[in-house]
Amino acid sequence: MAEPYYITTAIAYPNGKPHIGHAYEAIAADVIARFHRMQGRDVRLVTGTDEHGLKMAQTARNAGRDTLEFATEMSNHFRNMCGILNISYDAFRRTTENQHKDASIAMWKAMEAAGDLYLDRYEGWYSVRDEAFYDESELIAGEGGQRLSPQGTPVEWNVEESWFFRLSKYRDFLIELNEMPGFLEPESRRNEVLSFLRGNELRDLSVSRTSFDWGVPVPGSPGHVMYVWVDALTTYLTGIGFPDRDGDFSRFWPANLHLIGKDIVRFHAVYWPAMLKSAGLPAPRAIFGHGFLLHRGEKMSKSLGNVVDPIELAERFGVDALRYFLTREVSFGSDGSFSAEAIVMRSNTELGNAFGNLAQRVLGFIAKNCAGKLPGVHGRSEADEALLAQIGATVQTRIPSMVENLELQQAVEVWLQACFACNAYVDSEAPWALRKTDPERMETVLATLYVCIAQLAVAITPVIPEKAAALLDLLGVPESHRGYTTVAEDWYTVLATGDFRIENPTPLFPRLELPADDAV
């Protein structure tokens, strides 16, 4: 059986509709998942919604809604976003599902059995918006001297009876874990967490609430519900069958990668591994905290009126164009900016001109001048061999290595350079001139380009799955050869000696236009 690979997105908090940041994370996770599937691995991609906590209850109450009914409606917006953006998840988990409640209770009982839970009184600063506790030393000053969390959200002093988790017990373990190369990336996130762990006395964590009841009940402790992050993080286990520790769970845990936003790194790199250790479970293999998406260089907020709906962007510019832009534009791990102009530019100049037009002109030439029959190879020149070697190395070595290292932007960049190389080869070999002077050489040039275009289509499939599949269908590339390890030339020989014909193609990426008064 193929080697397993388990990747998760953060579990989204659905007190509002999904924004472009949710789409960015989902697309990045999907690109990685599709890549590993194309490497022949048995992949599980899990996403979902985190529906408990005070913030969710307050939002539903303010809207005059039943909390579960409201949570279901909002969760469906996230599921719908995944469908529209072609996110190939294997499980979409809601924290209000019975299996998840059972999993959370199983985690709680495991931590309790380890002697890591005790009842006490909590007094401290709490941000409802972040669903997070903060020490006095972490707070920042707002307008009028108001205390704010490090994220700039309001905090309030909270006093209540609470169950505590002995987080302080695991300080040395957490430092050692976060010092491990590759566990927490990028390096800036690792340095932040290690600074926190080394520079502060790690306080035990309040893990229950009595001031509201919208959550998973604490077993054997009436009136207490679990702190929302205990509940939410457990979703990563629920997604592969926990509390059943056999089957998918034993195969896929520990997760290969938790893909999250940089604002929730501490929950994943500190609280989560400690809880897993307490429960007798291994920590995830890797955590990656990506950056934020900015709109024209500004952080998005409802007050600024610049929050962008990813579904509207997808409907306007096309799903694959949006997926390509977000993967191509942003250095993975850093903050990035987007605008309608930038999406249009990338789609037209790179997808449209560099790749789409390459396929259009070559396949159209074959359809017209070879009656659609695949051209034969009549010996190869140094230029042919050099191009085939470059494209082969790019597709089968360079891109896989970069995606393995989560260098998604760089992987698309080398793919684009390979497209440029093919276009330069077309111009230098000039098959339209060879048609009259050397028909056999013309066929060899077209055959070389045909194979290169097919390999480039396979390589970019994780990013633009719909358009790449359409091109591979047109090329006649069999499903068995649409992986990074299987794309080769042998299928070409079979097609060239059979009855396969190429039809005159239609443009893969119609030119996008941007109205002068566009406000996106």
130 with 247, same domain? Answer: yes
pLDDT at 519 over 60: no
- For residue 509, being part of any structural domain is answered with no
Q: 134 or 362: whose pLDDT is higher?
A: 362
Looking at residue 515, its pLDDT comes to: 62
74 with 145, same domain? Answer: yes
**CATH number assigned to the domain comprising residue 174:** 3.40.50.620
Could you tell me the pLDDT band of residue 293, with boundaries at 50, 70 and 90?
A: confident
Please say whether the beta carbons of 478 and 495 come within 8 A.
Answer: no
- For residue 505, being part of any structural domain is answered with no
Could you tell me the pLDDT band of residue 137, with boundaries at 50, 70 and 90?
A: confident
Looking at residue 318, its pLDDT comes to: 96
pLDDT tens per residue, range 461-518:
999 999 999 999 999 999 999 999 888 767 888 888 888 999 999 999 999 988 665 5
**CATH number assigned to the domain comprising residue 449:** 1.10.730.10
DSSP per position, 52-115: -SHHHHHHHHHTT--HHHHHHHHHHHHHHHHHHTT---SEEEETTSHHHHHHHHHHHHHHHHTT
- For residue 390, being part of any structural domain is answered with yes
142 with 67, same domain? Answer: yes
Range of the domain at 427: 342-496
Candidate from 2-11, 189-198, 216-225, 293-302 with smallest mean pLDDT? 293-302
Enter the tokens of residue 348: 């037209």
240 with 366, same domain? Answer: no
pLDDT tens per residue, range 217-232:
999 999 999 999 999 9
pLDDT at 457 over 70: yes
- For residue 302, being part of any structural domain is answered with no
284 with 370, same domain? Answer: no
pLDDT tens per residue, range 220-265:
999 999 999 999 999 999 999 999 998 999 999 999 999 999 999 9
165 with 269, same domain? Answer: yes
Task: Give Cα separations from 399 to 388, 394, 469 (angstroms).
Answer: 15, 6, 18
Domain count, the chain: 2
259 with 359, same domain? Answer: no
362 with 273, same domain? Answer: no
pLDDT tens per residue, range 45-98:
999 999 999 889 999 999 999 999 999 999 999 999 999 999 999 999 999 999
Please say whether the beta carbons of 94 and 48 come within 8 A.
Answer: yes
Task: Give Cα separations from 400 to 36, 46, 61, 365, 458 (angstroms).
Answer: 9, 22, 48, 31, 12
* Rounded Cα distance, 27 and 23, in Å: 6
